[in-house]
Amino acid sequence: MTLLYLSEAKRGEVFARSFAQHLPDLPFHVGTAPDPAAVEYMVAWTPPKDLDQWPNLRLIFSVGAGIDQFDMDALPDHVGIVRMLEPGIARQMQEMAVMAALALHRDLPAYLEQGRQGVWQARANRPAAQRRIGVMGLGQLGQAVLAALQPFGFPLAGWSRSAKQIDGVECFTDLPGFLARSDILICLLPLTPETRDILNDDLFSALPEGAGLVHLGRGAQLNMPALHHALDNRLASAFLDVTDPEPLPPDHWLWRDPRVIVTPHVASQTDAQEGAAHVIAGIRAHRAGQDVPGSVDRSKGY
């Protein structure tokens, strides 16, 4: 059996060194494999469309936390998908989510616009205990973000389609009830057919007047015209790390709207060393007949 690596070259060099040290019995190939029939494992961002050339492929490891770039219908049923779980991804997402939530809580978009205009004007501070934060998506990243927010004293809630119990967090499966108590909404949902375009007119109209949006999920979950309308009629501000399209065109209205802060999809970036360790651990688990950490339930899309 061998592993075929099909991603960024510099990261591949780190992976190759880690495999040579920790899994030396597994041949590691970059770009091509001498014997395609020997390929059992693959590391890629987007795998090739025609996987028939690797008849014994069993697992594809994504180099990122998301797997929405995969065409699930094109993948053979016997091929498992594993998303990246290296711990740095969650730590970075905690940093970004806390920064974004505090930016909206403390009116940073308004102060940045005042700075551009040379206006010195204080706004009334609102205690954290009076600002309710809701997190959409209660997987690894959602729970990590909620844990990072707890010390600030915000009333916290989370929403997922399956019931969860998290200490210090009011958990919902009822979306309207969850939205009605979310003064700052943080989206960390995976992209699935059910979550595509979920941030739409109906959702925004269910939020409290003057709410803020922090979007750290996937760009295709956000309906741009709906956001524009909501900012004019209901939302106070938004912090977006993901957009559709990406990159965001230079003339897009989001760049010019003073109520919006945009960052270029930088919330989390995979550390190559930690990523290699995650893949090695997954292969060891697979060889031992154990559950592979990060395995994707293809019926759910995450």
* Integer Cα distance of 135 and 143 in angstroms: 9
The single residue of 17, 265, 284, 298 carrying the catalytic annotation is 265
* Integer Cα distance of 176 and 9 in angstroms: 46
Strand partners, 39: 2
Could you check whether 2-86+270-287 and 88-262 share the same CATH topology?
yes
Query: Residue 78, class by beta-carbon neighbours within 10 Å (0-12 exposed, 13-18 middle, 19+ buried)?
Result: exposed
Whether 181 is a known active-site residue: answer no
CATH no. for 88-262: 3.40.50.720
pLDDT at res. 302 = 74
> How far is residue 46 from each of residues 70, 75, 192, measured CA to CA in Å?
6, 11, 16
CATH no. for 2-86+270-287: 3.40.50.720
Give the pairing of strands 59-62 and 28-30: unpaired
The single residue of 218, 228, 256, 286 carrying the catalytic annotation is 218
Count CA within 13 A, CB hemisphere, residue 36: 8
pLDDT at res. 265 = 96
Q: Where in the chain are the domains?
A: 2-86+270-287, 88-262
pLDDT at res. 72 = 80
pLDDT string in tens for the chain (302-residue length):
899 999 999 999 999 999 999 999 999 999 989 999 999 999 998 888 888 899 999 999 999 887 888 888 788 888 999 999 888 999 999 999 999 999 999 999 999 999 999 999 999 999 999 999 999 999 999 999 999 999 999 999 999 999 999 999 999 999 999 999 999 999 999 999 999 999 999 999 999 999 999 999 999 999 999 999 999 999 999 999 999 999 999 999 999 999 999 999 999 988 999 999 999 999 999 999 999 999 998 877 77
Cβ atoms within 10 A of the Cβ of 1, count?
13
Question: What's the pTM value of the predicted model, to 2 decimals?
Answer: 0.88
pLDDT at res. 198 = 98
- What H or E segment, with its residue span, contains residue 30? strand 28-30
Whether 265 is a known active-site residue: answer yes
pLDDT at res. 66 = 79
